[in-house]
Chains A and B, each alone.
Chain A
Amino acid sequence: AQSVTQPDIHITVSEGASLELRCNYSYGATPYLFWYVQSPGQGLQLLLKYFSGDTLVQGIKGFEAEFKRSQSSFNLRKPSVHWSDAAEYFCAVGPGATDSWGKLQFGAGTQVVVTP
């Protein structure tokens, strides 16, 4: 079974500064990887996903993520954060191409606070 770790529970960043959120996964093969964002009182919204191919993935709201197989990581980045980026961010890993029914495993989340 796959697992996912988000080492940072909480990150504070100034508006306009760059942001990087870490995600490490454990899985025997190439997993499917996702980043979701949860704004207060809302459900989760998909930011981007990686299945195969180009390891640098572009998403919505100016986010990108890079899959690094050697480091088992899928870190999320944004060059310049906006106050509206304050939210909880979840990395999720799925079992990849498989014939069996799989499920997403979510990380514990990273809360991002944006200061003026």
Chain B
Amino acid sequence: DTAVSQTPKYLVTQMGNDKSIKCEQNLGHDTMYWYKQDSKKFLKIMFSYNNKELIINETVPNRFSPKSPDKAHLNLHINSLELGDSAVYFCASSQGPSGKGNQPQHFGDGTRLSIL
């Protein structure tokens, strides 16, 4: 009964490959997010979807493409992986966008992506 679940937990792959990370939340939340946490633990938002609509799209290479088939799922596809993509990617969800309501975010346990 995990609230926000991400798969896989670990992902080791070679440069140039294409990979996807999946995220599902069973909290009934409207808004989902993808964050990147670098090796210094700095957490930066990448994307946010509200009811399947993209509302935040930070300065992220277009090799990264989010997809939200429904409001309970937000997947992240990465093309042509580069060494600098190595990081921990966190999915999160909230009842509404954090800036439009008093809604804290619930985080998954992260996907540790390592590029060889």
Binding site for B on A (CB under 8 A): 32, 34, 36, 38, 41-46, 49, 51, 88, 90, 94-96, 98-104, 106, 108-109, 111
B107:A108 contact, CB within 8 angstroms? no
Query: Could you tell me how many residues of chain B have their Cβ less than 8 Å away from some Cβ of chain A?
Result: 25
CB distance from B55 to the nearest CB of A (A): 5
A43:B108 contact, CB within 8 angstroms? yes
A98:B100 contact, CB within 8 angstroms? yes
Contact of A108 among B42, B102, B109 (CB under 8 A): B42
Beyond A32-B99, A102-B100, 19 additional pairs, beta carbon < 8 A: A36-B107, A38-B41, A43-B107, A43-B108, A44-B90, A46-B106, A96-B99, A101-B48, A101-B100, A102-B99, A103-B45, A103-B56, A104-B45, A104-B105, A106-B42, A106-B44, A108-B42, A109-B42, A111-B41
**Nearest 3 interchain pairs by C-beta:** A102-B99, A43-B107, A106-B43
What is the CA–CA distance of A111 and B41 in the complex, to the nearest angstrom?
10
A88:B99 contact, CB within 8 angstroms? no
CB distance from A43 to the nearest CB of B (A): 3
**Residue B8 interfacial (CB < 8 Å):** no
**Residue B66 interfacial (CB < 8 Å):** no
Q: Please provide the chain B residues from 98 to 116 with a CB less than 8 Å away from any CB of chain A in the complex.
A: 98-100, 102, 104-110
CB distance from B40 to the nearest CB of A (A): 7
B104:A95 contact, CB within 8 angstroms? no
B79-110 CB mask vs A (1 if < 8 Å, else 0) is 00000000000101000011110101111111
What is the CA–CA distance of A32 and B98 in the complex, to the nearest angstrom?
9
**Residue B4 interfacial (CB < 8 Å):** yes
23 A-B contacts (beta carbon < 8 Å): A38-B41, A41-B110, A43-B90, A43-B110, A44-B90, A44-B92, A90-B43, A95-B99, A101-B50, A101-B55, A101-B56, A101-B99, A101-B100, A103-B48, A103-B97, A103-B99, A104-B98, A104-B99, A108-B40, A108-B42, A109-B42, A109-B43, A111-B41
